[in-house]
Amino acid sequence: MIIVRLKGSMGNQLFQYATGRHLAHLNNAPLFLDTTYFNSSNITTQWKYELDAFNIAGSIATADLLRPFNGCKFSNSDRLKVYLTSFGKYKKFLFEQYGFNDEVLELRGNYYLKGYYQSEKYFKSIANILRQELTIKEAFFPKNNTIVNQIKNTKSVSIHIRHGDYIRNISAMDARGLCSKDYYTKSIEYMKRELGDDIHFYLFTDDENWVKREMQWDIDTTLITGNTMMEDFYLMSLCQNNIISNSTYSWWAAWLNDFPEKKVVMPKHWGANVKTEDIDLNPPKWLTK
């Protein structure tokens, strides 16, 4: 069996699921998801388990399944203890750095994984499987079919502007940084050159007032308001083309966009001092700006 520890935002959970799903596929083994991070009284987090909105193949790991792995500690001594006391039957693997670690896909046996695994390289070879499983359940669809039909019947480009939660968390903003207006302006101009003038831009954001005040362009645009996070995610994935922020949330919306000729623009810097191309986060056909 393969167990993957989920933590962080929905985008992070999708990366963790996709990597665990590929490793389970390679091992011909069942996949289990450890969701105890979201329920721990020792952790204060704004995040919650989000994958129940998708038609995933993994099951929630029970306490009995987790017990042989001696909890969620991943120190060197703990990993060695688990290996020795189980006579090599159970093993733990930790990788919390940026980038792709090819060792992950070589793991065989009963493994409990912890990390972020933010690269398409971890799961690209099972992309077709994931696109079937990461379809959103109908209960999470937007209630407004008008906007769904508009997006489907226009040459649509989503623009994701993440601002609110980053500026409310100073440490996160220092580490991640904010995508500049110049980034979005250059990305919009690129889309106009590539797609022509008959395109419509759909803006998605967690800070509507700031976007109305600071992020305006002379383009045909609709600011999407009043939706849940999952409804916005679904609508972004329906757009034919995507301009994403430095956010795993919009990264996944763009990845799940199944328009065959889609164009995706992502920021050149994923973090304040982290170049996107240096951490294997940009799929080959996506443009960085």
pLDDT (tens digit, 9 = 90+) per residue, 121-150?
A: 999 999 999 999 999 999 999 988 999 999
Contact 5, 37 (CB under 8 A): yes
9 SS3 class: coil
pLDDT class of 32 with cuts at 50, 70, 90: very high
Burial of 234 (0-12, 13-18, 19+ CB in 10 A): buried
pLDDT mean across residues, the chain: 92
pLDDT digits (tens, 9 = 90+) for 223-250: 999 999 999 999 999 999 999 999 999 9
Q: What is the pLDDT of residue 70?
A: 85
Of 52, 53, 22, residue with least CA distance to 35: 52
E strand segments, the chain: 2-5, 31-34, 59-60, 90-95, 110-115, 156-161, 200-205, 221-223, 241-243, 264-266, 269-271, 274-275, 287-288
Averaged pLDDT, 117-123: 98
Q: What is the pLDDT of residue 173?
A: 44
Global pTM? 0.93
Q: What is the pLDDT of residue 41?
A: 60
Span of 141-145, 179-183, 218-222 with lowest mean pLDDT? 141-145
Instruction: Answer whether residue 49 shows pLDDT above 70.
Output: yes
Averaged pLDDT, 60-73: 89
Contact 250, 160 (CB under 8 A): yes
- Look at 104 and 162; give whichever has higher pLDDT: 104
Q: What is the pLDDT of residue 44?
A: 62
Of 82, 112, 79, 103, residue with least CA distance to 4: 112
- Rg (C-alpha) for the chain, rounded Å, is 20
Contact 243, 250 (CB under 8 A): no
Q: What angle do CA 123, 127, 131 make, to 5 degrees?
A: 125
Instruction: Answer whether residue 166 shows pLDDT above 70.
Output: no
Q: Domain 138-288 belongs to what topology?
A: Rossmann fold (3.40.50)
Domain boundaries, the chain: 2-129, 138-288
What is the rounded distance in angstroms from the CA atom of residue 41 to the CA atom of residue 275?
35
